[in-house]
Structure 1
Amino acid sequence: MRTLRTTGLAVLTASALALSMTTASAHDPETPEGQAAARAFMADHQPAERHAVVGTAAGVPCAGGKADIYPCKNVDLLSVLPLSAMGGGNGNDVWGWTDPSSGKEYAIVGRTNGTAFVDVSTPTSPRYLGNLPSNGGSSNWRDMKVYKDHAFIVADFITGHGMQVFDLTRLRTITTPQTLTADVLYREFGPAHNIAINEETGFAYAIGSNTCSGGPHIVDVRTPKSPKRAGCVSQDGYTHDTQCVVYRGPDAAYSGKEICFNSNEDTLTIVDVTNKANPVQISRKGYSGSQYSHQGWLTEDQRYFLLDDELDEQNGSDKRTKTYIWDLARLSAPVHTGTYNSPATASDHNQYIRGRYSYQANYQAGLRILDVDKVSSAQLTEVGYFDIYPAGDAARFNGAWSNYPYFASGIVLVNGIEQGLVVVKPNLGGSQPGGKFENAADVAIPDGGSAVTSSVTVTGASGNAPATLKVNVDIKHTYRGDLVIELVAPGGSVFRLQGSSADSADNLLTSYTVDASASAANGEWKLKVQDVSDNDTGYIDAWSLQF
């Protein structure tokens, strides 16, 4: 696989690699071989489906293993918005945005010919708002992420596409569908396969582009409408996908550093990108059975990494869908501790972890939800699924491309290649098991005003809270040093988590540990946040208690 990396070429992606295009020209959209590869990839796809579901106020429940025409387990169907109802083409990636002023939830839906924006705040009746056309032609591979109420959109296989920047607050006033334009076009690369954004630092990572040997092309997007090139990660060549975080995991040597976890064709490659001008590769590790390291995601404690390999089901002897489990106790020496084998046989694609669940979009097998509570023992358990491609379960490129599980409402977006936008609601039972209780409702923090609170109600616990109660906070704010943050226990005890400081950075995504052993566990816990200075605003995006 390493021989396929070629500086200056728009690498086609794992899906096309499965078509046995083994020369560099097969990845260049300007060559006949590259164009043939794209046509062959799309030949797998069925015509776009037009099966719309007009849900009731409660949606279509999963009952007897079905919701409407779709096989399911513990996941209810809310609606289906076919591709024909939002601009046509075939579907690919998807992401979400919550308007901090209204709490409305929106889907950002990738398609071959553009990006659709859909109001899903009434999930049984999604409302198509408009299309941002692709810049320079059609692409089977489009990806997007969100930062500071802006969408950042890239596309592969289009020489001059660049990165489209779209101000999502423009959606607030749209009443009828319309054709939209980008606010800004970043032109420092042309095609790119994917994009990741570290929302805590404000840096975007375009990957699989025609720059940086295909590795992460780093862009400073802290001022969204003025993106600036910040660096390159080219030591290990082409990167297919990445997750970049401010590291707070168990390896003290890298605490507080900005680290990228790259799925690099046949390895997991970990890079310290704290210094954007001089990234440092920490480790590069292969694994038995690798065919194409596609994508992966960290558990919330950043101790484990779940990796999916897109081609092992096609090319390996064991055809079951597999998830590779990595222990990252030492970033310099990641260890592949085990592999989860699904009862399905479809190719896996994109997965994201929220709380104790991994939400996987696995092509013909649809959305699969895995419990990661026993990941330390290299065990994963399937607890739910929603199969948007009932016709089959083969290792081919149809059905669920990606999903978005991070809305406060608990709905999950699934974007299907042929199906369009499928909105579902997992029904996994009350608060997250394993002692994690969340509140993801946005609460505005007034500028220099009174304190605001967000509540989490704990039920089913026994006795008092632990001496090591973990408080995870995700606060969006333009000057986090202005914030005073406290945790208020059910009995009224107050734990100071953070006082005001001179820290001028944006946003706060971190965890605190408090000794709450004198407080009862059950009851209403409050996160109390106050902005004690002027000229900066923000909101509580999400927070949780973990026992």
Structure 2
Amino acid sequence: MIKPFNRGLAAMLLSLVSVFSWSHSAMFPDGFEYDDSNEGALPSGMQALMENQQAATLCQGGSAAGYPCKNVDLMSFVAKADMGGGSANLNDIWGYSDPQTGAEIAIVGRTNGTSFVDVTAPESPVFLGFLPSHNNGSDSWRDVKVYNDHAFIVADGSGNSSHGLQVFDLRSLRNLPSPGQTLSESAHMGGFGNAHNIAINEDSGYAYVVGSNQCSGGLYMVDISDPANPQYAGCFSSDGYTHDAQCVIYAGPDTDYSGREICVGYNEDTITIVDVTDKFNPVQLSRTLYQGSQYTHQGWFLDDNHSILIMNDELDESRNGHNTTSYIYDVSDLQNPVEIGRYVGPTAAIDHNLYTRDGYIYESNYRAGLRILDAADIAGGQLSEVAYFDTIPNSNSAQFSGTWSNYAYFASGNVIMSDIGNGLFTVRPDWDAIQNPDPDPDPDYCSAGSDNASEEWISQVDLAGFSHSSGSATYSDFTAQLVNLNEGANAVSLTPAFSGSSYGEYWKVWIDLNGDGDFTDSGEEVFSSGGTSSGTVNGTLNVPAGSEGVSSRLRIAMRYNAAPSPCGSFNYGEVEDYSVTIGAGDGGGGDGDPVTYSNTGSYSIPDNNATGVSSPVDVDRGGASEGIEVSVDISHTYIGDLEVDLLAPSGAVFSLHDRSGGSADDIVQTYSLDAGTEASAGQWSLRVRDRASRDTGTINEWSLTFQ
């Protein structure tokens, strides 16, 4: 969870926390709303599972005991009320494998302490005991990691400012007099109070406390080689607050750092890499910003090669208005990380924690649950979702509730998940189904009709001069694009993602010429493939004369038409809608034609902030930009506070508004720019900075038209 306590509002927020309690629509101390109103009622299928713990529930037909799933079976569930600690909500989770007994133990963070559950027999979990928080405080955030048969626990929030590092000897769980014990910590270290997270490098025997009230919230290093006697070892504070971190003995391709201890910090707005080999002289190697950042949250190396990492941003979904996004970085040069791709998931849920194992990524995405991604093509910046288990049916919205985290490192292959308002889930991925998928398309796609990326099977679209590739073997998601067409014949090329399959693809394209939302009017079916094809279909769009100036929608549909067809004869495997403008030009819709790109997402403008907020658009038009029109719609009182700039892919900055207008409200205006020979293709951004206090506002939408 986001924890910006190093900000100027910290004192005020801490005073507010003292009066809040966990309830429906309670407020997190950082100001973000937690809503557990949809978590209280379990699906009907769960009651039978809880009464008969010997029977796991397979994922069949997209459901397991009422929970949406794909290739993940539900082994068991333990309600939070049955894990000690009363009704306290859950937060972080980690696991422990006892080297002597082989037991697999779930270590579950709570707002008031830590629960320990034996999940060795996953269908029959056993609650072992509850460890109260140090000094019996209550904290919104708790984090735990394991080293040398000991759990190391930190806590964050206003409830226990003296928590420090709590240590628990996990070997004591072997000989409990009976399950359900109240447990006692085995050691404690002061030196800091609250802390948001802890990372442990098991290869070095060092723990790294982050987000504490020491080291400016940076890396507070602790020698835990003797778990019963942890000792302060050093501090890195040069880049301020660190929200989360991973520390390793580096084994990647950057030979300058082979065998050295490296920490990757996720520092609210950057990925910050530090050499911590010398604990009293840590060296910052790089500090990497990225486009569209809102809150750099957490990430993990892809397994042990240390050349690629995957990272999440906890506020980009809600603020930038896009689906769950994972950022992929090539870190083969530790001093120069390079973003190589972004994976955009099928839901709008906020991402929280992710971990990697054996070429797969295990993401906990709040209201969308556990998502397992295949990283086989990650070097090319691509990921693909192969499995999921969702603990909140019927909602994947961008809210701070649902799954907090997961642990996927048990030898059994079972995965444990903490759901904030519900409890502990133990699930098992169906690896046979994941690694040997049915080669036939899923019949569920026959009724697809949304812009959900998981329901889209068109991999390449070429319409006149417009061209866009999904970069994926299985889907595309182009619906935010605006396509420029012209009267007369226009070339079209459509490529199915599953080219070469046993099913034929039959294509139709409509344009809603009169803008009434009905595609059945005469003349609005402007292309038909005329038959089936297992590969790319080429033809022409017949845009009727007299259509110039119409701004409407274009619809592309594909269905499977070869026997045995999983779809009915009139059902389409995919439907995609595009915005479309029909106008004059060179007749081909190419570089000589006007073309517009837009971002209709709402972005809050931070008050009195030199960084501001940026709203991006991705442009795939070729050629030079030359003349550009920029239309902006900004709501803001006292626009004399604002600086509005257009940022080009090359790094060029075009000033649109520089604190003029005094006390006037709002900017709704179109600016004409002479961009010279500036290249069109790449990511453009509208940046808005508020350089004075008190007045606030939002970017409502903006567009970029190339002449």
- TM bucket (normalised to shorter chain) is 0.7 to 0.9
Quick one: distance in 2 between partners of 1:333 and 1:386? 36
Quick one: distance in 2 between partners of 1:26 and 1:236? 18
Match of residue 82, structure 1, among 79, 84, 89: 79
Q: Deviations over 1:116-142 (max 9, x none)?
A: 000111111110011101124111100
Shift of 1:33: 6.9
Partner residue of 2:245?
242
Contact 2:83 2:129 in 1 (8 A): yes
Quick one: distance in 2 between partners of 1:314 and 1:129? 38
CA distance 1:414–1:299, shift in 2 (3 Å): same
Quick one: distance in 2 between partners of 1:432 and 1:252? 34
Specify the SS of the correspondent of 1:24: coil
Q: Deviations over 1:487-510 (max 9, x none)?
A: xxxxxxxxxxxxxxxxxxxxxxxx
Aligned pairs (5 A) from 1:130-141: 130-136=129-135, 137-141=137-141
Partner residue of 2:406?
403
Specify the SS of the correspondent of 1:144: strand
Give the AA of the match of 1:173: N
Q: Does residue 72 of the first structure (1) align with residue 69 of the second (2)?
A: yes
Partner residue of 1:45?
36
Quick one: distance in 2 between partners of 1:418 and 1:56? 21
State the percentage of identical aligned residues.
Answer: 50
If the length of structure 2 is used for normalisation, what is the TM-score? 0.57
Contact 1:49 1:83 in 2 (8 A): no
Give the AA of the match of 1:102: T
Partner residue of 2:145?
145
Shift of 1:57: 4.1
Contact 1:48 1:90 in 2 (8 A): no
Q: Does residue 121 of the first structure (1) align with residue 111 of the second (2)?
A: no
Quick one: distance in 2 between partners of 1:98 and 1:22? 36
Give the AA of the match of 1:169: R
Q: Does residue 269 of the first structure (1) align with residue 272 of the second (2)?
A: yes
Match of residue 56, structure 2, among 55, 59, 77: 59
Partner residue of 2:161?
159
The size of the alignment, in residue pairs, is 416
Specify the SS of the correspondent of 1:413: strand
Shift of 1:271: 0.3
Aligned pairs (5 A) from 1:506-525: none
Match of residue 421, structure 2, among 398, 418, 422: 418
Structure 1 unaligned blocks of 5 or more: 1-12, 434-547
Specify the SS of the correspondent of 1:31: helix
Q: Deviations over 1:183-222 (max 9, x none)?
A: 1111111000010100000000111000000001100000
Give the AA of the match of 1:415: S
Shift of 1:69: 1.2
CA distance 1:82–1:113, shift in 2 (3 Å): same
Quick one: distance in 2 between partners of 1:204 and 1:221? 7
Give the AA of the match of 1:347: I
CA distance 1:28–1:306, shift in 2 (3 Å): farther
Q: Does residue 26 of the first structure (1) align with residue 10 of the second (2)?
A: yes
Give the AA of the match of 1:120: V
Give the AA of the match of 1:187: G
Partner residue of 1:103?
102
Shift of 1:372: 0.8
Quick one: distance in 1 between partners of 2:62 and 2:80? 26
Contact 1:132 1:181 in 2 (8 A): yes
Partner residue of 2:630?
none
CA distance 1:424–1:279, shift in 2 (3 Å): same
Partner residue of 2:172?
170
Q: Does residue 350 of the first structure (1) align with residue 340 of the second (2)?
A: no
Q: Deviations over 1:416-474 (max 9, x none)?
A: 001110000001228979xxxxxxxxxxxxxxxxxxxxxxxxxxxxxxxxxxxxxxxxx
Contact 2:77 2:424 in 1 (8 A): yes
Match of residue 187, structure 1, among 183, 186, 190: 190
Specify the SS of the correspondent of 1:326: strand
CA distance 1:432–1:229, shift in 2 (3 Å): farther
Partner residue of 1:233?
236
Specify the SS of the correspondent of 1:429: helix
Partner residue of 2:320?
316
Give the AA of the match of 1:61: L
Quick one: distance in 2 between partners of 1:29 and 1:128? 35
Partner residue of 2:526?
none
CA distance 1:369–1:43, shift in 2 (3 Å): closer
Give the AA of the match of 1:60: T
Shift of 1:44: 2.2
Could you say what the CA RMSD is over the residues aligned between the two structures, in angstroms? 2.0
CA distance 1:257–1:23, shift in 2 (3 Å): closer
Shift of 1:47: 7.6
Match of residue 306, structure 1, among 304, 310, 317: 310
Quick one: distance in 1 between partners of 2:326 and 2:199? 21
Q: Deviations over 1:240-298 (max 9, x none)?
A: 00000000001001000000011110111000000001100000000011100000000
Quick one: distance in 1 between partners of 2:195 and 2:6? 20
CA distance 1:124–1:28, shift in 2 (3 Å): farther
Partner residue of 1:382?
385
CA distance 1:194–1:371, shift in 2 (3 Å): same
Quick one: distance in 1 between partners of 2:324 and 2:243? 19
Give the AA of the match of 2:82: A
Partner residue of 1:325?
328
Give the AA of the match of 1:237: G
Quick one: distance in 2 between partners of 1:42 and 1:322? 21
Shift of 1:143: 0.5
Give the AA of the match of 1:308: N
CA distance 1:83–1:33, shift in 2 (3 Å): closer
Contact 1:242 1:296 in 2 (8 A): yes
Partner residue of 1:475?
none
Quick one: distance in 1 between partners of 2:34 and 2:213? 25
Deviates more, 1:44-53 or 1:375-384: 44-53
Deviates more, 1:353-362 or 1:53-62: 53-62
Partner residue of 1:472?
none
If you compute each CA radius of gyration, which structure gives the higher value, 1 or 2? Answer: 2
Quick one: distance in 2 between partners of 1:382 and 1:343? 9
CA distance 1:416–1:380, shift in 2 (3 Å): same
If the length of structure 1 is used for normalisation, what is the TM-score? 0.73
Contact 2:386 2:434 in 1 (8 A): no
Quick one: distance in 2 between partners of 1:28 and 1:404? 35
Shift of 1:223: 0.4
Q: Does residue 287 of the first structure (1) align with residue 290 of the second (2)?
A: yes
Shift of 1:26: 3.2
Partner residue of 1:457?
none
